[in-house]
Structure 1
Amino acid sequence: MADETVQDIIVIGAGIIGINSALALQARGRQVLVLDRQAETARASEMNAGAFAFTDIVPLATPGIMRKAPKWLLDPLGPLSVPPAYALKIAPWMLRFWRASWPDRYQASMSAQAALMKLAQEALARQVSDTGAASLIQAEGQLQLYEGEAEFRASLPGWELRKQHGIRFELLESPEAIAAIQPGLDRRFTHAAFTPDWTNTCDPARWLAHLTSVFLQRGGRIESADVSGLKPSEDSVQIDASDKAWMAKQVVVAAGAWSHHLAKTIGDRIPLETERGYNTTLPEGSFDLKTHLTFSGHGFVVTKINGGVRVGGAVELGGLTLPPNFKRADILLDKARRFLPALKTDGGKKWMGFRPSMPDSLPVIDRSPGDRRIVYAFGHGHLGLTQSAGTAELVANLVSDTQNPVDMAAFSARRF
């Protein structure tokens, strides 16, 4: 059944990118309807580490990373893994990932990421003021931790690149210097880098709920729909769902890890893959956490959520249909217990969710090559929360044919 009413603009997806985009379009005077599938479990927008990781400009595809690929297959519980059952299916994506790691592409991706991060940081400040969200922000910095001199020295080129992009940090070269910021760490962590401008939300679920509430209070609408495809016509774009169809003058696709399936229905083939993220959330009182902790060599973080602690991370490139492997959450929690000897690990709740990931670690923020009335905003990997406010401003500019403040070529849907 089709609803013959033509909506002004429809955003597909009520995650952090979709709701931010809806708010930005609403601020331009647009009448926005958001369509969202009923998720069976909490989405990545609600269960991530809560970090606005503006210093995280280094792409996952770094030069030489493909030499580690055989290890990914042999260690299913490592910080970056590909389940053997998924290896053949992901091979074309991995070839693009390998090409993105070449020095020319790597440097270009980092520059584009840095530009998006700068915009996102400025946009977040505007959003916090506009929506009255200051109470949901905790500005406590981040410690990136290293085990020994060799690991620390290997990280220095990355910090030099951050310095070139104006990112503030302090290098710490003793356990005592680290303990002055975060007591209670195992002394195996001899070196660290502290980024004072790093901020978190106290709870990403509350953050998303707050923004959703503001959107609704300002006249926005959200309806439940499991969207299956797009059908452009001369006068509008039809959005098909299981039991209904909607018509809209313009559409924003912000459906996270499912977005490329919708793009494919109008002939746009975009190499999106799924980072499956795992974490365990521990209750209040589990540990006196002073700052966000990043264990670089182990691919996970420990972060404060509602006074409790969330331990999670790593990257499992395993698609949308394989069953969760919660041993990954267990091994991260076991490491956290060893790295933070006073950590209480009772009462934890495990979770697995899907992060939409592009081979070059950059999102797609662009008009559809198939129909310019459709705008894409997806593929942020583990940086969706971080880049959401900035992405929303770019989306609103694309929808209204306004010049964007950053070079958009790096985020093109055509770049592959």
Structure 2
Amino acid sequence: MRSMDPQLDKQEIVIVGAGIIGVASAACLSDAGYQVILIDRQGICEGTSSGNAGALAFSDILPMASKGILAKVPRWLMDPLGPFTIRPSYLPRLTPWLYRFWRASRADNLERTVQAQGAMMRLAELEMLGLMRRAGIHHMLRENGSLELYESEEELNAALPGWQARKNAGIAFEHLRGDDLAASQPGLSPRFVAGTFVPGWKTVSDPQHVGKALWDHAASLGAQFMRGEVASLSADRASTQVVMTNGTKLTSAKIVVAAGAWSHQLAHMLGDSIPLETERGYNTTLPASAFDLKRQLIFSGHGFVVTPLDTGVRIGGAVELGGLTLGPNYKRSEAMLAKAKLFMPDLETSGGRQWMGYRPSLPDSLPVIGYARASKNVLYAFGHGHLGLTQAAATGRLMTDLIEGKEPSIPIDPFSPQRF
């Protein structure tokens, strides 16, 4: 491990964070010939990236603020187990973020966000499929599409503007009813009167397995992993330094900050104030035999999805804004499981494993991608919210573009760390 060598190797990159964004960035940079050191206090995809819903949601271009959430928030906040909740004790701290979230919902801001997210998703699909092929894990891809479900025609009609925005972006979909809906997913409750099938939606066999396999690819090209916690970051025009809590000092040409929900704390050390909040997501993974699931089901009115994985049937989602220190409330997992049983009466709900993770969320639903204010030797790659797995390889491509001094593959001004 080259760490304290005064003769700086200009080809060495330190990445802080071994979630899917850090791992994909390590893989892309290793593919480009860089020597990568990946740092994490846990392990490869052992945190939030281990328990997500496994979707490659390339058609999900609408920001959270656009999905009718603002109108629903007052009702949802009355339900501590609902799709979107805020711990009352956390609300005062969250108020500035909620104000920015409200601003992001304005029509002019939404249009810019959709355009930026559309470009990001086109790059994401190209890069993720390419990276999976290079890593030899294309067999972990599932191309069964998704089915978003509605309990009334009114609910479907309320979603139509969002589907029009997707149509404008070239995303294919089909609204289903009656026999077509039943054939798309047998065993659904008759309470669902319509559904929207998105054929281009993809999932993976298991998100943690994919992340670890991408790391194996990076490691085969020379990338190294160091377990530990970062105490401080610093940078100047010539180099960067990471100091670990055990006193180890790593000197490198560049640092990539990809520490998920903890990234804003590292950015603050470099003079950047990033309004990142934590969406605490919950799930339960049942045995694979729990239900004959044909594709990912999206219950948008209830804020959760059900995904078929090689490792089981995963029921999870919802948003709890509560920061990094409050304890988990697994009654949220139980509430989603109870709803899933109501929506899929044949679902076997025993034998499940509960989980909670921390999604790093920006108020406009766009990630932070770009240079630190203090130095172009530090790059930020965080804040992807629900879309970390989906956008991981695209982010790795953009990190590689910036480090190589190339024009980014897509315009990155909408993702600027200084946009706030």
TM-score scaled by length of structure 1: 0.97
Q: How large is the Cα RMSD of the aligned pairs?
A: 1.6
One-letter amino acid of the structure 2 residue matched with residue 194 of structure 1: F
1:414 aligns with 2:418: yes
Structure 2 distance, partners of 1:390, 1:207, is 16
One-letter amino acid of the structure 1 residue matched with residue 31 of structure 2: A
Structure 2 distance, partners of 1:83, 1:48, is 22
1:235 aligns with 2:238: yes
- Report the alpha carbon displacement of residue 41 of structure 1 after superposing the two structures with TM: 10
Matches within 5 A, 1:42-57: 42-57=46-61
Matches within 5 A, 1:215-226: 215-226=218-229
Matches within 5 A, 1:299-338: 299-306=303-310, 308-338=312-342
Match of 2:176 in 1: 172
Contact conserved, 2:57 with 2:387, CA < 8 A, in 1? yes
Match of 1:96 in 2: 100
Of 237-246 and 68-77, more deviation after overlay is shown by 68-77
Structure 2 distance, partners of 1:62, 1:222, is 39
Contact conserved, 1:287 with 1:308, CA < 8 A, in 2? no
Match of 1:4 in 2: 4
Alignment gaps of 5+ in structure 2: none
1:347 aligns with 2:351: yes
Match of 1:106 in 2: 110
Alignment gaps of 5+ in structure 1: none
CA offsets, 1:38-71, max 9 Å, x none? 2699412111011001111110012864344433
Match of 1:85 in 2: 89
Contact conserved, 2:282 with 2:332, CA < 8 A, in 1? yes
Matches within 5 A, 1:110-129: 110-129=114-133
Match of 2:163 in 1: 159
Match of 2:190 in 1: 187
SS at match of 1:298: coil
SS at match of 2:34: coil
1:89/1:115 CA distance change after superposition, 3 Å: same
Task: Report the number of matched residues.
Answer: 414
One-letter amino acid of the structure 2 residue matched with residue 269 of structure 1: S
* Identity within the alignment, %: 47
1:320/1:19 CA distance change after superposition, 3 Å: same
Match of 1:245 in 2: 249
SS at match of 2:66: coil
Of 212-221 and 71-80, more deviation after overlay is shown by 71-80
- Report the alpha carbon displacement of residue 27 of structure 1 after superposing the two structures with TM: 1.6
Match of 2:365 in 1: 361
TM-score scaled by length of structure 2: 0.96
Contact conserved, 1:16 with 1:384, CA < 8 A, in 2? yes
1:49/1:74 CA distance change after superposition, 3 Å: same
CA offsets, 1:199-236, max 9 Å, x none? 11110111011011111111110001101221124532
Match of 1:207 in 2: 210
